[in-house]
Chain A
């Protein structure tokens, strides 16, 4: 009956209201992120450093979620691609005096090319194989960096020039927030495009996607390459923010940390991981500072949180926000959020 469909289908007004709410939500979030360093206690240098770490982690988690959340391939070697970008940019600056800004783009390019090659090799394999192969490629890259100390200075660490001529954390914060917004913006645009539609089709049902004429490997490789390129770009920031690079940046534990943030934030949403990274990294930083006598406690809590989320709230923080907002403002039947049904 007509009345029934009218009740469930979203009317144009409802959909408009929903879209407006999302835009407002996004603007409020960005505004909070922008003014955060001026609100006590975030005015202190310590806290601002936590905020930089938070924004950096947020951007990593977004790049990770782009693969994990949309095409269901866990890039278990993401940290190695971050390290690849970092070392490219760092070495260009140290050996050839090239500006870190150009170095960052070069880092993104190199990480993207290696990501493309890795993807072409591994993404023909099935889910689990691809994840584990990405891990091994990451380990091999780390081994490579460690084994050519003549070039990379190995575990001694490569000191890299700073991105900006200041030791103040505030300018760095705005640079990394800009990078974070670029990362989210570009990846969101890709997700909304036709290519993104193919990603979601592949992630949700590979057989059906194939049947509708999508060449899965091609799209998987596009996705993987993009994610790796952004990881390389952010690695460039890492190199020129901390000023020291060791192969540990490429370690598996670093990937696991990013993965934990992405899943706690809620996979397949991009904004969930980005938002949750800030409080998580601030708390981590505080714990590290307060509990120097108990190293590793923050990581234990991290791991426990990841386990709890996986077992009890598979949709993560984003899922909780979505269900809360749906309760406050009953959503149109087909909720046009970016979030996918939880796995």
Chain B
């Protein structure tokens, strides 16, 4: 495998490259430009900075999950947006009764007010993990037996079918209604850097950051996380070291869909649940993953913020409809110069040939 989720060991000759040269690459210039823009906009147009950080955090969750299944299992998941949809649906059905209970009894405990929304998100994560794990056992394990040569493309097609089934199944059962909540935490917005920011936004950003940190700690430090990285690098070698592939695949798929479900749940107030709610997050997550380089989890997290900034800027200055057009042009330009993505390695892996 070319890319490892998190912690790709640095090439040994990196130290000999002068520091200035190391950071004068296209990748670092784009990252620097983005950070500078975030700082500048914080003074000029603070809502752009806030929007970029909030949605960026959530796209990072989506894209990290997508990059993870690609890196570890070589699955290119076209149904990733449907986990977002499932997450938002679960959060809606768990949180609405809680919200009603709070409305019936406004004097109710503050504990419920603070932790009620988390119940919805935790339920979404649990269901997301379960759905991912079941899909691995029922579908991907079977496909793995019959498909060897064209595995990557076949998973793409299989998950395309899965996406159709889930979207239309959702529509069949729950109809096309939008199911959302106006807000999670019923408290007045907070003023930050001269703009008022709702607590839901702050919470979404904090949840994203905490989850990303916990997730990378898990990949780096825990036994299972290390096993996952080992499988990503060399399946046969990992097996020889006594790692059970089936177990790792179940956990990887479950984790990936749990991350997407968490994003769906945490953004319920912005994206009310509907059968097609997962389409835009799916597109953006794929966009991020292609921009960053397939299977690169760290790159995907940084890439998510770059894409989120592009998206926010196009919405602010050009119009909502152009969200698909302009970032695509940017992506084409990047891929012209860096065909493996911003953080991709130039070494070819098995899946790319």
| A311 partner, pick from B146, B165, B171, beta carbons under 8 A | B146
Tell which of A106-114, A296-304, A326-334 binds the partner. Answer: A296-304
Interface residue? B207 (CB, 8 A)? no
B335 at the interface (CB under 8 A from A): yes
Beyond A127-B352, A136-B287, whether A300 also contacts B157 by CB under 8 A is no
A294 within 8 A of B: yes
Give Cα distance in the complex from A2 to B171, angstroms.
65
Q: Which residues of A contact B339 (CB under 8 A)?
A: 124-126, 129
A306 CA to B171 CA, complexed, in Å: 19
Q: Does B165 lie within 8 Å of A128, measured CB to CB?
A: no
Is B294's CB under 8 angstroms from A299's CB?
A: no
CA A73 to CA B46, docked complex, whole Å: 43
Is A132 in contact with chain B by the CB < 8 A criterion?
A: yes
A251 smallest CB distance to B (angstroms)? 9
Min CB gap A149→B, angstroms = 9
Complex interface residues of chain A between 268 and 299 (CB less than 8 A to chain B): 294-297, 299
Number of interface residues of A (CB under 8 A): 47
Residue of A121, A136, A146, A259 near B336 (CB, 8 A) is A121
| Interface window among A51-59, A89-97, A137-145 | A137-145
B168 touches A310 (CB 8 A): no
A249-266, CB under 8 A of B: which get 1 and which 0? 000110010011001000
B347 at the interface (CB under 8 A from A): no
Which of B139, B146, B168, B353 sits near A297, CB closer than 8 Å? B168
Across-interface contacts of A127 in B (CB, < 8 A): 152-153, 352
Contact of B149 with A by CB under 8 A? yes
Query: Contact: B153 with A303, CB < 8 Å?
Result: no
Contact of B154 among A207, A303, A304, A343 (CB under 8 A): A343
B114 to chain A: closest CB distance in Å? 39
Q: Is the CB of B162 within 8 A of A303?
A: yes
- Flag if A310 contacts B328 (CB, 8 Å): no
Q: Does A147 contact B (CB under 8 A)?
A: yes
Task: Classify the interface of chain B: helix, strand, loop or mixed.
Answer: helix
Other-chain contact of B321, A122, A143, A295 (Cβ < 8 Å): A143
Which chain B residue shows the least CB distance to A135?
A: B286
Number of A-B contacts defined by CB within 8 Å? 142
Query: Secondary structure at chain A's binding surface: helix, strand, loop or mixed?
Result: helix
- Considering the chains assembled together, what is the distance between the CA atoms of A129 and B171 in angstroms? 31
Of B153, B172, B290, B328, which is within 8 A of A137 by CB? Answer: B328
For A169-199 the 0/1 string (1 means CB < 8 A from B) is 0000000000000000000000000000000
Residues of A contacting B169 in the complex (Cβ-Cβ under 8 angstroms)? 296, 300
Contact digits for B319-353, partner A, Cβ 8 Å, 1 yes 0 no = 10111110011011001100100000000100111
A residues less than 8 Å from B322 (CB atoms): 143, 147
Separation of A206 and B348 alpha carbons in the complex (Å): 13
Does A234 make an interface contact (CB < 8 A)? no
Contact status A306-B160, CB under 8 Å: yes
Say yes or no for A133: interface residue by CB 8 A criterion. Answer: yes
Q: Is B118 an interface residue (CB 8 A)?
A: no
A131 within 8 A of B: yes
Beta-carbon contact of A307 and B328 below 8 Å: no
**Could you say which residues of chain B place their CB within 8 Å of the CB of A260?**
160-161, 164
Q: Is A65 an interface residue (CB 8 A)?
A: no
B156 close to chain A: CB less than 8 A: yes
A132 contacts B153, CB within 8 Å? no
Contacts of B324 in A (CB 8 A): 136, 139-140, 142-143
A341 to chain B, nearest CB (A): 9
Given contacts A136-B287, A310-B158, A310-B161, whether A128 and B76 have CB atoms under 8 Å apart is yes
Give Cα distance in the complex from A279 to B219, angstroms: 49
**Is A228 interfacial (CB-CB < 8 Å)?**
no
B171 engages A295 (CB within 8 Å): yes
Whether A104 is near chain B, meaning CB under 8 Å from some CB there, is: no
Contact of A253 among B143, B157, B164 (CB under 8 A): B164
Residue contact A131 to B164, C-beta cutoff 8 Å = no
Q: A187 CA to B66 CA in the complex, in Å?
A: 36
Residue B147 interfacial (CB < 8 Å):
yes
Complex contacts, B147 vs chain A, CB 8 Å: 310, 314, 343
Q: Which of B147, B157, B165 counts the most A-chain CB atoms under 10 A from its CB?
A: B157
For residue B59, give the distance in angstroms from its CB to the closest CB of chain A. 15
Contact between B164 and A133 (Cβ–Cβ < 8 Å)? no
In the complex, B163 has a CB within 8 A of chain A: yes
Q: Assuming the A-B contacts A294-B172, A311-B158, are A129 and B335 also in contact, with contact meaning beta carbons closer than 8 angstroms in the complex? A: yes
List chain B residues, Cβ under 8 A from A144. Answer: 325
Nearest Cβ on chain A to B92's Cβ, whole angstroms = 20
Interface residues of B in 264-323 (CB under 8 A from A): 275, 279, 283, 286-287, 290, 294, 319, 321-323
Residues of chain B within 8 A (CB-CB) of A259 are: 157, 160
Closest partner residue, chain B, to A305 (CB atom): B161
Question: Does A74 interact with chain B (Cβ within 8 Å)?
Answer: yes
A310 close to B143 (CB less than 8 A): yes
**Which residue, B147, B152, B161, B322, has most C-beta atoms of chain A within 10 A?**
B161
- Minimal beta-carbon separation of B282 from chain A (angstroms): 9
A299 vs B321: C-alpha distance when bound (angstroms): 27
Asked if residues A304 and B161 are in contact (CB atoms below 8 Å), the reply is yes
Please name all residues of chain A whose beta carbon is closer than 8 Å to the beta carbon of B154 when the two chains form the complex: 310, 314, 343
Nearest chain A CB to B75's CB is how many angstroms away? 11
Contact of A143 among B143, B167, B286, B323 (CB under 8 A): B323
Contact between A307 and B158 (Cβ–Cβ < 8 Å)? yes
Q: List 19 A-B contacts (CB under 8 A).
A: A121-B335, A121-B336, A127-B352, A136-B290, A136-B324, A139-B328, A140-B328, A143-B324, A252-B279, A256-B161, A260-B161, A260-B164, A296-B168, A296-B172, A300-B169, A314-B154, A343-B147, A343-B150, A343-B153
